[in-house]
Chain A
């Protein structure tokens, strides 16, 4: 009736994979971006779990930094999606194919 660290790591793996599949499958840029957020959070969970495993707070500090970077990334990413939408009138990533060979 105890929860070993590996449960949390497996949870993190599952969430990361769901995020990855979301990025690969979806076409809407916003949903793809949300899937990337899910991946970042899954990695945060792994960091905190390892922090508990090793009895060391460095993992939590790293998770905190990763949250800061994610916040900055969301701001810039959403601005890029908005300006892309202004140009193409669509949030579909397949429409942004100017560099297609």
Chain B
């Protein structure tokens, strides 16, 4: 009963925030609405008996990833108007049509595979025995230990890739650590000399 109420309170919020995210003109508004949507998804995880993913969803998605998004939006500037010209004729209507087709198709697949039955959620207390985090750790560190270790390589590669893309290019030379006076050919503010203790301004 409680999960029924929570579901029907959260589901409209989730759909509405997702639709509003697509329709928002300002990229910052899109990001904020996406954060709302991530919170509703976290609540769904809680209903489905996964408090661990509830917390991870809020910390990693609504916290870290969306802060990164907002940071980049602020860095690039948000004032740019999006042109309404369509590169492909009837692109928007075609997208809506294909989206509706996708919904119908997968809903039919759900009906065939699971069925729109009226049974409640299956009992999960046996699986979550000793706590969800402990049960998840038992699965993760027994059957999925090797993939778990491989993700560490993935994260390192991602970090190096981001550094490679984010470095500053000076002229034709691709370097990060150019000396400061070589950077003077592009117009910019006068470099502040390193303030030593002797030349500190009074």
Contacts and interface: CB of A to CB of B under 8 A. Distances in A.
Interface residues of A, number: 71
A68 B27 CA distance: 24
B110 A10 contact: yes
A71 B94 CA distance: 31
Contacts of B94: 24
Interface string B1-45: 101100100010011001101101001001100100110010011
A33 B151 CA distance: 22
A85 B122 CA distance: 49
Given A4-B118, A13-B110, A64-B56, A76 B47 contact: no
B165 A82 contact: yes
Interface string B140-159: 10011001100100110111
A66 B116 CA distance: 27
B44 A67 contact: no
* Dominant secondary structure at the B interface: helix
A20 B31 CA distance: 17
B165 A71 contact: no
A45 B44 contact: yes
Interface string A56-73: 111011011101111111
A78 interface: yes
Interface in A26-85: 26-28, 30-31, 33-35, 37-38, 41, 44-45, 48-49, 51-53, 55-58, 60-61, 63-65, 67-76, 78-83, 85
Given A7-B7, A30-B69, A69 B48 contact: no
Contacts of A55: 122-124, 126-127
Contacts of A4: 114, 116-121
B51 to A, nearest CB: 11
Contacts of B103: 13-14, 17
Interface string A3-20: 111111111011111111
21 contacts: A3-B3, A3-B47, A4-B118, A6-B115, A8-B44, A18-B18, A28-B27, A31-B27, A34-B31, A35-B21, A35-B22, A52-B124, A57-B139, A58-B139, A67-B61, A69-B154, A72-B158, A73-B158, A75-B161, A82-B75, A92-B82
